[in-house]
Amino acid sequence: MIRKNDSYPLQPPRERGTGRAIALAVLMHVLLGLFLYHGIHWQNSTPAGEEAELWTEVPDLSTPKPLPPPAPVAPAPPPPQTEEADIALQQQKRKQQEAQREAQLAEQQRLKAQQEAEAKRQQLAAQQAAQLAAQQKAEKLKQQQEQQQAAAEKQKQQQQQQDALKKQQQDEEQQKQAKLDAQKKADAEKAAKAKAQADAQTKKLDAERRARIAQMQGSMGGGEGTSGNGLAKSGTGSGSGGNATSPGYADKVRRRVRPNIVWSGETSGLETEIAVRCSPTGTLLSAAITRSSGNSSWDDAALRAVQRSDPMPQDTDGKTPSSFKITLRPAG
């Protein structure tokens, strides 16, 4: 197992029994040296010999006698210690050989242990290198993931900003549209209110005219004024009442009515005839459509133009005709 607190992470771990193997190897070398020393010293020593005395008779030189035949000399027996010395030498040689074998075996074991330790060290170094490479790869992969996550987060923030900006623009557009709708609604309400007020004013004027007519009729003893006919085209008109109108009266009526016409629709084929009743001072007593153009919007616009022209202009005699008709067409 790799210890993280070591200052040298690549140093192989210590093996058990290394000191004992070294001590045994030193002991075997000492024994081998002793055996070799004693063996050389024993071989250099001279073995102790044996002495023997031979006693023979002194021959008589005075009378020569024939020499007896020489007795056969018995071979000297081998020294008794030679066989034991050989045995001891053989034993010593065997011991030396065994010591050599043991020393060789110990050396082989030591070399094998060194090789195994070196192999373990290399294996451990390879494992550590593989672990370091895997760690570096994991860190690199982690950095890449963090970068990708940061890029995704940045893109997400940009998308959120774009969505927020788009939503803000949409809200602004909605607010603008709401303001426009509110303005249109207000304008429509204002127009409706103005129309209602105009209708109410028209009704009020009609009621006042009716009241005046009733009052005038009552003061005249129930008589009816004579009616006349008049014609004014394209904003001009002529009328006749109790008295005949002057030739320029129709132009006066045209100049009075034309500025009050408010119309933005079609202009072709529209013609409306309106009957008007006035007091001698020009006060408009009544106005009614006698011939429609077929377009109710234009008819209403023409009737409102006549009603806004109150009072009507007076003729050259200082009086306004009591009744006359006006034919109106939109300016084209």
What are the tens digits of pLDDT across the range 237-251?
Answer: 334 344 457 788 888
Position 124 in a domain: no
Position 196 in a domain: no
Higher pLDDT, 266 or 83: 266
What kind and span of H or E run contains 78?
none
Residues 6+ apart with CB under 8 A from 216: 279
Position 244 in a domain: yes
Of 12-16, 124-128, 323-327, the poorest mean pLDDT is in 12-16
Position 250 in a domain: yes
- The CATH number of the domain holding residue 308 is 3.30.1150.10
What DSSP string runs through 5-69?
Answer: T-S-TTSPPPPTTHHHHHHHHHHHHHHHHHHHHHHHHHHHSPPP--------PPP-SSS--PPPP
Phi, psi of 214 (to 5 degrees): -65, -40
Domain total for the chain? 1
CA 65/CA 238 separation, integer angstroms:
227
Higher pLDDT, 14 or 140: 140
Q: Are 237 and 327 in contact (CB under 8 A)?
A: yes
Position 318 in a domain: yes
Position 213 in a domain: no
Position 6 in a domain: no
Phi, psi of 323 (to 5 degrees): -155, 145
Structural domain span for residue 273:
227-328
Q: By percentage, how much of the chain surpasses pLDDT 70? A: 68
pLDDT at 12 over 70: no
Position 271 in a domain: yes
pLDDT tens sequence across 309-325: 888 898 888 889 888 88
